[in-house]
Each structure stands twice: as structure tokens, then as C-alpha cells.
Structure 1
Amino acid sequence: MIKPFTISLLSTLCFSNIALAQTSTNHIQLKKDATIATEQAHINQIKVASLAKTKHWDWVITSQNGNKAYLVGVTTNGQPKYYAAYNNTIAAATTRASQLWAGGASGLNLSGSSAFLKNKLAIWDGGQVMPTHKELIGRITQKDSTTPVIAHATHVTGTLMASGVNPIAKGMAYNLQGIIAYDFYNDLAEITAEAGNIIISNHSYGVIAGWLYNSAPSDGSPARWEFWGRPNENEDVNFGYYDDDTKSLDAIAYNAPYYLYVKAAGNNRNQNGPPVGTPYYRWDANDSMVAAGNRPAGISSNDGYDILPTNANAKNILTVGAVNGIANGYTKPSDVVMSSFSSWGPTDDGRIKPDLVADGVAVTSCVNNNDSAYATYSGTSMASPNAAGSLLLLQEYYAQLKAGTFMRSATLKGLAIHTAEEAGDTTGPDYRFGWGLLNVEKAAGVIKEAVTNNNTGKHLLYENVLTNGGTFTKTIVANGNDPLVATICWTDVSANVTPYANALNDTTSKLVNDLDMRITKNGSTYYPWILDPANPAKAATKGDNRRDNVERINIDSAKAGDTYTITITHKGTLTNGSQAYSLLVSGVGGTPTNLPLNLLAFEAKPQGNTVLLNWQTANEVNTAYFSIERSIDGSNFINAGKVSAKGDGGYSFTDDLSNSNQQQVSPIYYRLQMVDKDGRFAYSKIVAVSINSQQSALTIYPIPATNTLYVQLNSTKATNSTFQVLNMQGKVLVQQPIAIRIGTNTFSVASNILARGNYIIKVIGETVYAKMITKE
């Protein structure tokens, strides 16, 4: 039977955001918060039981279509809070998960089978999953067992991981070795306790809001339409509201930065209430559901925008809407057809929700009638596991490439948004489809290119941290073959909750740490997509996004060889002193357009904590400037400064390292490029410089190198060392052990295997010696 005495947390519970949690899981804080949540839930069990008895609240409500909602708590203003469960091969085709499977176009053979994924996926739902179903047998770890086995939980779990005994019911991660399952009572306490151990969880349920058709009231009265807004209000305050539970979800995500909560958007858009002039019920001031006469014309039918209930509005989660399945896969925006029921944003403060859409219409999966039973359901409940299971395959692939390391949740969420397929009748995001249709095949392509090529190909993936007052810059060159797109996403600090009395459509921003991404080229600045919550149907435009913890920039005009600069900054002061973020870039890796630059010399000389760079050109340049970039690994360059062209051909720049940890690194790489009036970069030269006296002990000849290279090292110590030759991207091309004795050491290496270009020679022992050479 249904557990009658457990509820979610009241507003007295506030989860903590801790600064160190941005890049590593804060197990200590999560454990503290879980203990507090569990104790508070126990207290609330007694309270809700008392209120239900005195106010005659139903423990279970059955809606018009037979779906059930269960009393789980009390809202901030004392009304009962109910959770309702929202009512696979096409699903897999829709998100392109099937292209990651064996035989798929990606060739990746992903199925969730990796041992490191076992019990890294979790589900919270209205009851238990059927553990003996032939699609799931032996793979369910049910953590609470006082609620009954139900069809909904079994169906959702099947979409996540059914083994495919029935091919049309095959789950997204069909070979997953194990999943953790809970019912949704006391969910926040349980999520807090598990968040440090899992990487994705699915939540195909939410609070009742707006209109509900109660088909069997417990008092024996006839079936009726009920409006769940506050007394004397014409719309439900819970739509778009950032409440205490929402705040707690954001805090959990902040303290568990590798954990992504995937949430069904809700099915409110076709729950429209009775015709105007017919009887209806609503809550009164005593928190009782009472007859309110005939429905007036002014009450919202919640059939358009701003109908996402409470915790679907959290910043750090992935909220998923439902669209029709696309059996043959996406080809164009009109392929993505909105369902009749999926709830639309925006949040009250105007953030873009839902985040994405997936297949939630007529999804076939297993149910609990018997061990071989299946059923076809529709709802955002079906779209959410379609997305969650598909995203688990991306974590599997990333971890395969990174020795078991997972992406941060902000990276996974940002990647899903970065590669989403365009949906809707206007370009860019909207409040119906969010950023578009999930496409994990494209997302896997970004992972493959970025990781295997160490961010030197057409896709880039960075997990960075921005400190107070900090700036990150990245120079990129468009390849001309792929759209130029950049996305940043971060797990933001949880926001303050507007008091319930003032909460109806409160537009106060819930963004705490406001990062900004801009892309520039020759004085032109490209801005992220933004939406106008005051005109929710209006097409997206470009501008300063002050609302979302996701920003994406699309540059459709990029041509092959065009060079751009990405800059990441922040507004105000960062709470907790820093903010971790993820950056995704696609459409890069091109060759810079050649410009008439004849570089005669480029050298770098250390001078204490500074480096003096000098260069000379044969031709005079008056309509350009020189860009100087610095790197500690020869690959990932950051902006060091620029020098305007002055026409006489001689230039210099001093790089001050006194406030940089790079003053301890040897060598430092510098890249010089010229930028013309159209923002195009000319290839110039890279040099490496040692900032200590050790470099002078290393002599290399002949320069330029011929077929044999001689290396001479004067050493005051005898050490076992390693000799290396590296390219300018930091890749080791030659490596061999050498024994260094006191005095002069001379040895040779064949350099005929090296192509023309610049290389770094290193001798690594107790001291690192390095110099750059040129092979002609």
C-alpha cells in the first residue's frame, strides 16, 4: 500500500553551497544535508498526517485518465503538496541513441555495459520497479520497498535500460549492469544522500499545479474539476516559481558537480479545466477543497506559456519536454512536432525552460502486469528517461576515453544543448522546445574529436574555473565546413526564494554568478541568444543574457580561415570567489587566411619575472595589429596582449609574469600572429623561452637542423634523464633515456624523421632544460 506518512521538505530546510564543491564532490556537506533532510522529513511525517486528518485531505487522488497523485508534503503556504507521475525504438531513433549502439552510424558500440556505470544511474518514481520483468531481471537495486510495484516506474525504467528481449521496447542503455531505484517519498533527502555516488537520475513526476480532474474524491462526491491556485487568484503561483525544493535541487547539484538531475517538464498544457460557466472546485483560505460555483472567464486554462511546476524550474537540472517520435531520425526543424500536453516555460524570472525535448508520445516499454508485459504510454514521463538514458551513453563514451573519469554535469548538460537540433518555427531557443531536440550522436562526435585530438581539431571541450576578476580568452579559426557554435554552461549557486506571499510571477533573477561569453572579430562582437519573457512567443534575438546559466553563440557568417576570439568574463563579484564552467566550441580547426607578412625575426628573452619579445617584419603594416598569446604546454594558448602596427617594421612587447603561476614553468611558449582589418590572422611563428638560467646550459646544433641533431649539455650533477623532441602542440615525437654526467655531455639524435617546422628539445632530470629548434 501507499506510504501515508512521508513528505518532502518544508521551507525551513536550506541546503548549503560550498565553494570547493564546484570541481569535486563535497561528500561531507552532502552527508550533513542528507542527515538534516532525513530528520526534517521525519518531523514532517507527523505534521502531514495531522493536517490530512483535520483538513480531510485525500492521500491519493485519481485523475480523469486514471493517473494517481499522492500526498507527499505541504507547500510553503500550508496547502497539501501532491506528486503525480507524468503519463522504444522510435525514442532511441529520435535522440539518435540508436546510432551509438552496435551497428549504429557512429561505430561506437555503446550500450551502458561498462562496469564503471553500474549503479551510477538512479530513478525516483511513484513506487517500485518490477525487478522480475524479463527486460530488467537481476539489475534493479530497490532502496525502499514499502510501496507497491507499479507500471509507471517499470515503464520509465524500461525506457532507460530494458535489455531488448522485445526489440521495440529496447532501452537507451540496454546493457546497463545495474540501476538504483527509489519511490518519490522523501526524495530530497534520498537524492542528497546518493548525489555523490551517481551521475544521472531520472524524475518523471512533479507537483500538481493548475487544473486537475479528480475522478474519485475520497468524500464520495462526483468527479470534478479542481483549480489548485491560491484563493482569489486566477493562475497558479506554482507555475514558474523557484521554491524551496527548487533551491535545494540547485544546492545538491552544486555540491555534487558530476551529478545531473533529469526532470520531466510536466503535462499541464492539455489540463484546461471545465468550460466557463460550469461548476468547479478550488482551495479556500482554510486549505480545504470546496465548491466555488461556476467557473468565471478570468481563470487561466494553463494552455500556453509559463506552466512549468516548481522544481522543473531549477537552474542546474535538465528539464525535458515531450515531442512526437521521429522514426527515421531528424532531418529538419519541422520534423520535431510538439505534443499536445508538454508544459512550456518560461520560468518566472525568464530563464529558458524546458532545456530540451525528446520523444514522449506513444512510447512502448515494459510494465508490471506480468514478467512479459508491455504497454504504450505518452507523457513527459516518457521523454525524460529517453533523454536520461541517452545521456548516460555519452558519459560512458567519455569515461572510456578518459580512463573512467566522467564529465561534470555542466559539461554534459552544455554538450546536450550545444548539439541540440533546431526545433520550432524560428531560429534559436524558445520556451516550447527549449534549445531543441536532443542528438547524442552529434554530442558523441564532439567528445571524440575534442578528447582524442586534445582540443586541436574541429571541436573543443574545456572544463575551466573562472576566479573573481578573471578572464579567459581563446583564439579560434573557423573551418568553413561546420557551423561555428560556442556554448558555456555552469552549475550556479542556489538562489534566494521569493516569499510565497509575493511569489506570483515574480521576475527577480535567480542567476547568482553571471558569466558572460562574447566572440569578437575585427571590432565586431557576437552575443548569445536571448528570449523575451514578456513576449514569450517572440523569436530569439542576440544580446546580453542576464538570466540563464547557459549561453550559446551561433555565427552563421563564419568563413574558412576567419579568426575569432572567445572571451569569458563575469559580472559583479562571484559568490564563493570562483565559478567552474564548461566551454564547448564547434566548427573550428581551420587554417588561418594567409596575409602578406614577412617575419624576419621573433625572439623572447627572460628578464626576471618578465619576458621581452622582439620581432621585425620586412614589410610595413598600418591597418593591422599583432596578437601575442602565451601557453605552458604549447597547445592551449591564452591572450597575453596586443601591439598596434606602426609601420616601421620593428616591434616589442613585455609580458609580466609576476602575478602568474607561469613564472615557475619552463619553457613558456609564445605565439605571434598578425590580425588584419577584417579580423583575419596571418600565420607567423611560435617560440619557446626558459625563464631561468638553465636554458643557457643547453646547446643544440646545427641550426637549422639537418639529418643529425647534436645536443650538448653542461651539467653540475650526474642524473638519469630523459631526452624528448616535441612538436609545437606539446606531443612527444621522440623519447629516450640518457645518463647525464658532471661536465659536458654531447649526444646525437637522428632528425631526418622530422618534417619541416618548429620543435621543442627537452632534457628532463632533476632540472628541465628546453630549447626550440627549426627543421628546414
Structure 2
Amino acid sequence: MKIFFLLLLTPFFLTAQTAAERKKISDSSNKELNATLKIAVALSERQQADSIAIYKQQHKFVESEKKSIKRIENGLPIFYTTFNQGSSKTIGTDKMYPGASMGLNVTGAGMTAGVWDGGKVRATHNEFSGGKVTLGDAAATLSNHATHVTGTIIAAGLSPLRRGIAYGGEAKTYDWDSDYSEMLTFGSLGYLVSNHSYGYVASSLPVYKFGAYDASSIEIDNVSIANPFYQIVIAAGNDRNDFDVNQVANKGGYDLVSGFGSSKNGITVAAVEQVDNYLGSSSVVMSDFSNFGPTDDGRIKPDISAKGVAVNSTISSSNYAYDIYQGTSMAAPAIAGMILMLQKHYNILNPSTFMRASTIRGLICHTAKEAGYEPGPDYEFGWGLADAEAAANIISNKNFLTILEENTLNNNQVFAKQITLEVGQKLSATICWTDPTGITNGSSVDNRTPRLKNNLDLKVLKDGEIFYPWKLEVEDPSAPATQFADNDVDNIEKVEIDNASPGVYTIQVTHKGTLTGGSQVFSLIANGSTGINLNTSNYNFDNSVFVYPNPASSTLNYTIKDAIAIKSIKITDVSGKSVNNINVDLDQKYIDVSSLASGIYFATFISEQASVTKKFVKQ
């Protein structure tokens, strides 16, 4: 039986990622592991070249990006094939552009994405002028698909309807012939993201390959472990409407993700229709072709959704050619472009620093908009529709109203972080980690043994109550997600409390068994719908301070319930600007607001230990 691999078709801070920044990331790569893997890859490629040559002598076929032999696995030939303006609007990256609502002025300028695909990108295309595309290998045959994918990420937008997600960025492109070894090198050089819009041809797969953690999955995880800042983005595949594939009917459209898409540390992307105005989960419409999970061990795949229907982008037939394609091939590069945008935003606010892959992956899943019929993740949309605006806001408010941090959990350690909600609101907390490479499923069908090596557990605690993360049921893939117990299969875990009451909460991370390597780096993301307070002492202070009358016309009085000494009071307007011509009498406990214009203001009461802010209205 033949196995195919398929292309999945159906004004400031404009500085580049500097050599010093890339070297800093490169220094974090595991040089010894990269070198060991490259030696093993070189040996394997020599052996495979001999096996492939023999196969080609015995089986005549024409090589193309629709059917290109990659390797011989367990006696079976494995082939690659490709999976084929609204994309940025659908996932919210347009709000990060110059002149947009967030005021961030991010275009991806100075950032570089890797693109592996079925052929050569037309680097001379008008949308890539100015050296935006660098050809990374000797690929000879121009590819419409590869050029379309690359345009979705970085097309300059000379034709505005075809502007790429990170239109100020660049790309380094390769064909897929030596993707594994090339990716090891790419990651070790300090680059942050690459796109892979290709995968197995489902009609040629033996049943055990669907959902399996196999050699291709291991390649992705090996590269990820060796290069912890490098995020690999993968198209989920387009086989759900192909009823010649027995698996489609046998599993009702589920259990179709395979190969790269079944890795633990890649982001696997589903394709949805364009979303012009998100009003709720029903606004997100699944395509009729995008592959559903789960993996055999029940992990949540795909991870995230983006537009993959009717995507207009560059093609290779001329320097001015465009076409409309659809497929998870078009959804994946939208996420790759989004990662360039978010990494650039993070770098602007945190100079010379970028997020680990576990942080960017966790952030994208944490901030996804709800999609599907039930709350929480599912095996169709993953965590939901990507939302760059929400992700960028987490970055912007880091260490102020949100948590975005990278920690290390040691063997037998309990990590705990306290936060405060001053008002009732929705509370969300997510952990994500780059899990060590697991063991293949072999040829057993639907092997349910977890592939997780380091089993971390996230819980949120308050007043003796335990809030658990989302989890899905592999034996009933269409069933709603639940929050009643630990999740022992995923390396992304999220706790959501829809109506969290005011008070102090503890975010707790523990682990089961013994951690491979003795420790595990993990990323923690948390936020509330109106903001969380990272200083728990402020909660008691907040309950001790009262202002009245509110609204106030001339005098705003305040009382302090407990014996807390106020050192000073600061008044600011809604823009954050201090108001200096205000008389504050600390002895008489009043604030003269008669000179203020009508509007909303904030009074910040400052003591030796903490501070608290009260909103008031001046009539």
C-alpha cells in the first residue's frame, strides 16, 4: 500500500530581528542534540536514497509536488503532496497594523518566516520585491502553491486584497526534500517560526496511521526540543469531504489528523470560512474539508483555526499573478504570519527578547475566540478561532493586568502563584510546555497510550474549591469538553472560570511521575475579562477604602476602614494623565474636585505596603 504526503490546498520600531537577538536565541538551542540529530538524519537520508532509487526502478511514476516520494517506512513508500484579504480580518492581525484600532503599528518588519513547501517560490514576484524572499535551497521547479503560501504570510500588499498577514516581514523558502535537516539548521540559527502546508495523502494511508504519533511527528518534536524558541506551524489536511477515504465514513470525519499534525509541539491549523464580524461561536463556520482530530491518545488536534476558504494570494505563473485557493494550506500560513506579528510586538515592548515557542503556542490557544457547538476546546476547531488582538493585549498588559511568563518546574516541586480579582469576572489560566519526544505508536490501531513524557497538571484554587482544566474524551470525540479532573494527555492545559467571584486565587502547577531531565520549562498565561491584580495584599486594601459621593460635584470624601496610613493620593484622567491642580486633605479625608471638568477619573490611594485605585465620576 502506498502512503502519500499532501500539500494542503483546497512608523516606529521597524528594525529587523538583529544578529545579536538571533544569536541570543541560537545560544539557547541544544547544540549537542542538534548535531546528533543531523548526523542521524544524514545517515538516514543516505539509506533512504538507496531504498527510494530501488523503488523508482520498480515503480514508474512522475515526480511532482502532488506526488513526491519522501521515504520508505516499514516497507511502505511515503509521498508528500500539497494541501491547498480576509485572513487578517478573520484572526484580528489587521487591528495591529499602522493606523488601526490598537495603535501598535506592527507589520512584521524585520522578522523572517521559514516556508517549506512542494517547490520553488517565485521570489521575483512583484509582491516580494526588495528581497523579501530568500531561496534557501536549490529547488528548481516553480510552484503556485509555495508562492501562494508565502504570499499569505508576507506579500507586501501592492494589491491590497492580497496583502500578507505580516506584510512587512520576509521569508526564507525551501522545498521539502531535506526538510528535517534544514529545519534543525533553521531553528539553531535563531529563527522563530516556519510553515508546513503539506502532509500525507489520506487515501493511501493504512488505518493505523490516522491519529498516530509516528516518525513524522517525532521529527517535529525533535526539532522543537532542540530549539525551544522555534515554533513549527502545520496544516491539518483536507480529507474530511473525500468519501473514497474509508476513515471518513468509519469515524464520522474524526481521527483524520496524521504525521506532522499529530506532533505534540507543532501548531496544527484547521480551516474555517472568513469571519467579518465575530458575534459568538456561531460566527465561525467550519470548512467542509478540514481534517478533525483527535490523535490516538486523545490530544486536542487541530490546535487552532484560521481562514482557509477563498484565500487570494500570489502564484508563480508571472510576477503579477494571483489566484484564489482554499485549504488548510492557506489557514496555516495565516497563523505563521500572526506569530511573526506577535513576536515583533513582544520584542518592541521587551527589547532583545522574544517568546519561547511554548509561550507563543500557549498564548494563541489561550486567547482563541470560542468556536463550535459547545464551550471549551473540541477536535474540530481546536481551541477556537485565532485572535491576534486578544493575544497582543495580553502582551501589552504583561505584569500589570495579565500574566505572561516562563517558569521551570523541578522534580517534586509545587509551583504556586497568587492573583486577586477585585470584581467578579471571567478568569482564564493556561500552561503550555515543549514536551520531550515520545515513542511511536508502531502499527497498532488507535493506540490510547499517552505520548506525554512530562505530565504537568494545572489547577486554580480558591477557598478550598478546585477548578480543573478542559479535557476531551477520545472515545466520544463529538462530546463536549469537561472540567472535572486532571488532563493527562495534552501539553496545553487551560482552566476557565466563567463567573469567578472577587478574592484571592492560587494558580498551581504540579506534575505526576518523574520529570524527564529533572525539570520542565513551562509557560503560564492568565488574565481576567476586566483585569487581574498581581498583588494580593491590594485585595484587602481595596475593601478598606471607600469614596463618596460618587458621582461627586465638588468634594469627594473617602474613608479608610482599617488602620492603614495613606501616604499620598494621585488623581488621573481616563488617558492616565495626572491631574496636578487638586487639593487633597489627608487629615480631613476629602479631595477637592471642583476644578475638574465633567468626566471619569481615578483616585489612587498609596500606602507603604500597597496601592488601590477607585474610579469616580465628576458631575
Give the aligned residue type for 1:757. S
What corresponds to 1:391 in structure 2?
339
CA 683–42 in structure 1, closer or farther in 2 if over 3 Å, else same? farther
- Deviation track 1:61-82 (CA, whole Å, cap 9, x = no partner) reads 7xxxxx822111112x211101
Distance 2:247 2:226 in 1: 43
Query: Given the alignment, which residue of 467, 470, 474 partners 2:417?
Result: 474
1:438 and 2:441 aligned: no
Aligned to 2:503: 562
How far apart are 1:49 and its partner, in Å? 1.1
Correspondence 1:200-279 to 2 at 5 A: 200-209=193-202, 211=203, 228-230=204-206, 236-273=207-244
Equivalent pair of 1:322/1:360 in contact (CA under 8 Å): yes
Match of 2:279 in 1: 331
Q: 2:43 aligns with which of 36, 39, 42?
A: 39
- TM superposition shift of 1:475: 1.3
- Provide the rounded CA distance (Å) in 1 between the counterparts of 2:240 and 2:316: 28
Q: Distance in 1 between matches of 2:68 and 2:459?
A: 47
Contact 2:419 2:535 in 1 (8 A): no
TM-score (norm 2): 0.81
Does the residue aligned with 2:209 lie in a helix, a strand or coil? coil
Contact 2:416 2:507 in 1 (8 A): yes
The alignment status of 1:422 with 2:272, answered yes or no, reads no
Q: Which of 158, 161, 164 lines up with 2:157 in the alignment? A: 164
Q: How does 1:564-713 map to 2 (within 5 A)?
A: 564-587=505-528
Question: Alpha carbons of 1:424 and 1:308: their partners in 2 closer, same or farther (altered >3 Å)?
Answer: same
Aligned pairs for 1:172-187 (under 5 A) are 172-176=165-169, 178-187=170-179
Matching residue of 2:299:
351
Deviation at 1:317, TM superposition (A): 0.7
Conserved? CA contact 2:503–2:539, under 8 Å: no
1:69 to 63, 67, 70: 67
Work out whether residues 313 and 347 of structure 1, in 8 Å CA contact, stay in contact via their aligned partners in 2. Answer: yes
Q: Is the 1:458–1:479 Cα contact (8 Å) retained in structure 2? A: no
Of the three residues 315, 322, 337, the one matched with 1:367 is 315
Give how far 1:32 is off: 3.0
1:637-672 per-residue CA deviation (whole Å, 9 max, x = no partner) reads 8xxxxxxxxxxxxxxxxxxxxxxxxxxxxxxxxx69
Give the structure 1 partner of residue 607 of structure 2: 757
Give distance in 2, aligned partners of 1:520 and 1:362.
Answer: 45
Q: How does 1:73-92 map to 2 (within 5 A)?
A: 73-75=71-73, 77-87=74-84, 89-92=85-88
Count of residue pairs brought into register by the alignment:
532
The AA in structure 1 aligned to 2:347 is A
Residue in structure 1 matched with residue 258 of structure 2 by the alignment: 309
Q: Which residue of 1 aligns with 2:555?
A: none
Structure 1 residues 431 and 298, CA gap change in structure 2 (3 angstroms): closer
Counterpart of 2:29 in structure 1 is: 25
Q: Is the 8 A contact 2:425 2:530 kept in 1?
A: no
Q: Separation in 2 of the partners of 1:139 and 1:23?
A: 26
Residue 406 of structure 1 aligns to a residue whose secondary structure is coil
Q: 1:758 to 1:254 in 2, by over 3 A?
A: same
Q: What letter corresponds to residue 256 of structure 2 in structure 1?
A: I
Q: Report the CA distance shift for 1:59/1:240 in structure 2 as closer, same or farther (over 3 A).
A: farther
Q: Residue 424 of structure 2 contacts residue 500 of structure 2 at CA under 8 Å; is this kept in 1?
A: no
Q: Map Cα deviations across residues 490-528 of structure 1 (whole Å, 9 max, x no partner).
A: 00011111322xx21111100110111111111111000
- Aligned AA (1:72): K
- Residues of 2 paired with 1:475 and 1:547: CA distance? 26
Amino acid at match of 1:188: Y
Identical pairs, percent? 37
Q: How many Å apart are 1:530 and its aligned residue?
A: 0.7
Closer/same/farther in 2, CA of residues 681 and 42 from structure 1, 3 Å limit: farther
1:464/1:147 CA distance change after superposition, 3 Å: same
Equivalent residues of 2:274, 2:307 under 8 A apart: yes
Distance in structure 1 (CA, Å) of the matches to 2:424 and 2:104: 23
SS at match of 1:237: helix
The CA distance in 2 between the partners of 1:504 and 1:22, in whole Å, is: 39
CA contact (8 A) 2:308 2:328 kept: yes
Provide the secondary structure at the position in 2 that maps to 1:60: coil
User: Residues 537 and 562 of structure 1: is their aligned pair in 2 closer, same or farther, counting only changes over 3 Å?
Assistant: same
Once residues 104 and 333 of structure 1 are traced to their aligned partners in structure 2, the CA distance between those partners, rounded to angstroms, is 24
Gapped regions of structure 1 (runs ≥ 5): 1-6, 9-20, 62-66, 212-227, 231-235, 275-296, 593-634, 638-670, 675-679, 685-703, 708-753, 761-776
- Aligned counterparts of 2:176 and 2:313: Cα–Cα separation in 1: 21
Alignment partners' CA distance in 2, 1:333 and 1:495? 34
1:31–1:243 CA distance, 2 compared to 1 (3 A)? same
- Quick one: structure 1 residues 683 and 408, their matched pair in 2 at CA, closer, same or farther if it must change by over 3 Å? farther
- Per the TM alignment, residue 36 of structure 1 is displaced from its structure 2 partner at its CA by 2.7
- How far is 1:300 from its partner? 4.5
Alpha-carbon separation, structure 2, partners of 1:45 and 1:528: 46
What is residue 321 of structure 1 aligned with on the other side? 270
| Cα deviation, residue 58, structure 1 | 2.8
Q: Deviations over 1:394-442 (max 9, x none)?
A: 0000011111211000000000011000001111100000000000111
Q: Secondary structure at the match of 1:541?
A: coil
Indicate conservation of the 8 Å contact 1:272/1:302, yes or no.
Answer: no
User: C-alpha deviations, 1:340-361, integer Å up to 9, x for none?
Assistant: 1000000000000000000000
For residues 375 and 756 of structure 1, what CA distance do their matches in structure 2 show? 60
Match of 1:651? none
CA contact (8 A) 2:248 2:254 kept: no
Larger Rg, first or second structure (1 or 2): 1
Structure-2 residue corresponding to 1:601: none
Amino acid at match of 1:535: D
* Bigger strand fraction: 1
What residue number does 1:12 align with? Answer: none
For residues 134 and 567 of structure 1, what CA distance do their matches in structure 2 show?
52
Question: What is residue 145 of structure 1 aligned with on the other side?
Answer: 138
Cα deviation 1:239-276 (Å, max 9, x = unaligned): 101012211211210121100000000011012118xx
Alignment-mate amino acid for residue 73 of structure 1: R
Give 3-state SS (helix, strand or coil) of 1:530's partner: coil
Q: Secondary structure at the match of 2:523?
A: strand
- Where do 5+ consecutive residues of structure 2 fail to align? 7-24, 546-564, 569-603, 611-619
The Cα of 1:43 is off from its aligned counterpart by 2.7
> Is contact 1:513-1:575 (8 Å) kept?
yes
Letter paired with 2:134: T
Q: Shift of residue 481 of structure 1? A: 6.8
SS at match of 2:312: strand
What TM-score does the superposition give when structure 1 sets the normalisation length? 0.65
Q: Using the alignment, how far apart are the partners of 2:235 and 2:323 within structure 1?
A: 19
Q: Does 1:98 align with 2:91?
A: no
8 A Cα contact 1:126 1:153, kept in partner: yes
Higher relative contact order (CA 8 A, sep 6+): 2
1:529 to 470, 475, 498: 470
Contact in 2 for aligned 1:477/1:588 (Cα 8 Å): no
* TM-aligned CA distance change 1:493 to 1:101, over 3 Å: same
Provide Cα deviations, 1:430-482, integer angstroms capped at 9, x if missing partner. Answer: 000000000011100000001xxxx1x32111110000011111111224475
Q: Does 1:491 align with 2:437?
A: no
**Deviation digits for residues 300-341 of structure 1, max 9, x if unmatched?**
566510001222000001000000011x23221111000010
Report Cα offsets for 1:667-697 as digits up to 9, x if no partner: xxxx6998xxxxx99779xxxxxxxxxxxxx
CA distance in 1, matches of 2:232, 2:285: 25
- How far residue 105 of structure 1 moved from its aligned partner, in angstroms, is 1.2
**Alpha-carbon distance change, 85 to 301 in structure 1, aligned in 2, over 3 angstroms:** farther
Cα distance in 1 for partners of 2:147, 2:88 equals: 18
Instruction: Write the letter of the residue equivalent to 1:580.
Output: V
Moved more, 184-193 or 160-169: 184-193
Quote the Cα distance in structure 1 between the aligned partners of 2:335 and 2:376: 20
Query: Aligned equivalents of 1:306 and 1:492: distance in 2?
Result: 22
Q: Deviations over 1:609-634 (max 9, x none)?
A: xxxxxxxxxxxxxxxxxxxxxxxxxx
User: Is 1:58 the equivalent of 2:55?
Assistant: no
Tell me which moved more, 31-40 or 539-548: 31-40
How many angstroms does 1:28 deviate by? Answer: 3.3
CA RMSD of aligned residues (A): 2.8
